[in-house]
Amino acid sequence: MAGLIERYRDRLPVDLETPVISLEEGSTPLIPAPALSKILGEERSVFLKFEGLNPTCSFKDRGMTLAVSKAMESECRGVICASTGNTSAAAAAYAARAGVPCYVVLPAGKVAAGKLAQALVHGAKVIPIEGNFDQALQLVVEIAEKEGITLVNSLNPYRIEGQKTVAFEIVDALGAAPNTHFLPVGNAGNITATWRGYRQYHEEGVIHSAPRMFGCQAAGAAPIVHGKPIENPETIATAIRIGNPASWQGATTAIKESEGEISAVSDEQILEAYAHLAAKEGVFCEPASAASVAGLLARHRAGLEICPQGGVVVCTLTGHGLKDPERAIAGLDIPPPVSSDLDSLRQRMGL
Ligand code: F0G
């Protein structure tokens, strides 16, 4: 399958001169979630758009293929981003592919191990700071401007343009728009982009209705829900540990235009959804990704409307569970070995 620039070329700001830096991203599966569908009842269908199956295992590859391709179209000294981890992994991989230097500025001690490993392995210059994501973003915006290095955070408009393709793929797979779409919100680029994709298909007449967009922030990092920046955001979902989202306006527009809502989910609710997805649906995503499903379950439990009877709900699962192995095994016992004979094995198996 070709990458998304090739597949959606006529809907993206590229021409034949644009060098395509691609790892064949996109085309991620839209997986039915029967256990969640059963919880909602009344023949509603829940689908998981599993973005963890992109080349660097998160949705960031969609925006990064376009941002780095466009950077290579003009003179590019290198690329830079602030990140809670996934943007840095994607930037590092696409920069490696393009053969340009990559600088990533991260909140020290707050990036999941898999993501840090990716940035390092792809040869990025990794710079942890004693500060949070919001501070890192301020710094990189300033240095990118001063040093003429291309910023590849979602303030770069090509990131949002690339990421809107997730909505195209969902519609292309379902043959129509879903009724409702839940997704996690951190810096708010993805909700902005996903809504833009649905709107574009709507304006082109590909779909006749657009979904209601439900954004889910972690309770300790929910500036949009509270209507003001959070100085010290905290959540176990480190990917969305953000107190002052760059695309705040885009998120509120998406919610308003689609008649959706932004809500906060607690770390407990996020972990419950994370465990449900792994144990009941067989899908292993990272904690921040599970915020979408946590938001769905919270809304269902509160008795609020999600979609009509027989309707379709999509939850974006933004990143792969293997990104954060420490969180995955936290609180679980790794069993000690048994001796290598059949009796011991049988005993341990409980047979
Ligand atoms: N889920 C995951 C796994 C993420 O990595 C992010 C953002 C989000 C959700 C939220 O998306 O920011 O567009 O609202 N991660 C960024 C990063 C901030 O640096 O990797 P958003």
Contacts of 62 (CB under 8 A, 6+ apart): 4, 25, 26, 54, 162, 163, 165, 166, 193
DSSP lists the bridge partners of residue 104 as 81, 126
User: pLDDT digit string (tens) for 94-104?
Assistant: 999 999 999 99
CA–CA separation, 36 and 281 (whole Å): 8
Closest listed residue to residue 179, CA positions, set 198, 163, 193, 205: 198
Q: In what order do the strands lie in the sheet with 212-218?
A: 30-32, 45-50, 312-317, 180-184, 212-218, 261-265
Tell which phi-psi region holds residue 310, choosing left (phi > 0), alpha (psi between -120 and 50) or beta. Answer: left
Which tokens hold the place of 325?
A: 């192995």
User: pLDDT digit string (tens) for 135-192?
Assistant: 999 999 999 999 999 999 999 999 999 999 999 999 999 999 999 999 999 999 999 9
Which tokens hold the place of 270?
A: 């996020």
User: pLDDT digit string (tens) for 289-328?
Assistant: 999 999 999 999 999 999 999 999 999 999 999 999 999 9
Span from the CA of 289 to the centroid of ligand 1 (angstroms)? 9
How many alpha carbons fall within 13 Å on the CB side of residue 169? 27
Name the DSSP class of 323. G
Evaluate: CB of 239 within 6 angstroms of ligand 1: yes
Which tokens hold the place of 281?
A: 């649906």
Evaluate: CB of 250 within 6 angstroms of ligand 1: no
Task: Find how far residue 70's CA is from the centre of its chain.
Answer: 22
Evaluate: CB of 155 within 6 angstroms of ligand 1: no
CA of 187, closest atom in ligand 1: 12
pLDDT value of residue 75: 84
Span from the CA of 240 to the centroid of ligand 1 (angstroms)? 6
Evaluate: CB of 281 within 6 angstroms of ligand 1: no
How far, CA to CA in Å, does 270 sit from each of 83, 252, 266, 293, 328? 21, 22, 6, 8, 13
Evaluate: CB of 87 within 6 angstroms of ligand 1: yes
Evaluate: CB of 170 within 6 angstroms of ligand 1: no
Span from the CA of 136 to the centroid of ligand 1 (angstroms)? 14
| pLDDT mean over 222-237 | 97
Evaluate: CB of 244 within 6 angstroms of ligand 1: no
Contact in structure between 222 and 248 (CB atoms under 8 Å): no
Amino acid (1-letter code) at residue 296: L
pLDDT value of residue 331: 84
Contact in structure between 215 and 183 (CB atoms under 8 Å): yes
Contact in structure between 5 and 66 (CB atoms under 8 Å): yes
pLDDT value of residue 1: 74
User: pLDDT digit string (tens) for 185-225?
Assistant: 999 999 999 999 999 999 999 999 999 999 999 999 999 99
Q: Is the pLDDT of residue 108 over 90?
A: yes
Span from the CA of 72 to the centroid of ligand 1 (angstroms)? 24
DSSP letters spanning 328-339: HHTTPPPPPP--
Q: Is the pLDDT of residue 276 over 90?
A: yes
Amino acid (1-letter code) at residue 189: G
Find the distance separating the first CA and the last CA of the chain, reported in whole Å: 46
Phi, psi of 104, rounded to the nearest 5 degrees: -130, 130
Most informative mutation of 133, 187, 253, 324 for ligand 1 (most atoms within 8 A of CB): 187
Contacts of 15 (CB under 8 A, 6+ apart): none
Compute how many other C-beta atoms are within 10 angstroms of the C-beta atom of residue 186: 30
How many alpha carbons fall within 13 Å on the CB side of residue 108? 5
How many alpha carbons fall within 13 Å on the CB side of residue 8? 26
CA–CA separation, 305 and 284 (whole Å): 27
Q: Is the pLDDT of residue 279 over 90?
A: yes
Which tokens hold the place of 242?
A: 């953000």
Q: Is the pLDDT of residue 124 over 90?
A: yes
Span from the CA of 235 to the centroid of ligand 1 (angstroms)? 13
DSSP letters spanning 289-302: HHHHHHHHHHHHHT
| pLDDT mean over 13-28 | 97
User: pLDDT digit string (tens) for 25-76?
Assistant: 999 999 999 999 999 999 999 999 999 999 999 999 999 999 999 999 998 9
Evaluate: CB of 283 within 6 angstroms of ligand 1: no
CA–CA separation, 17 and 7 (whole Å): 16
Rg (CA), the chain: 20
CA–CA separation, 182 and 305 (whole Å): 13
pTM, full prediction: 0.97
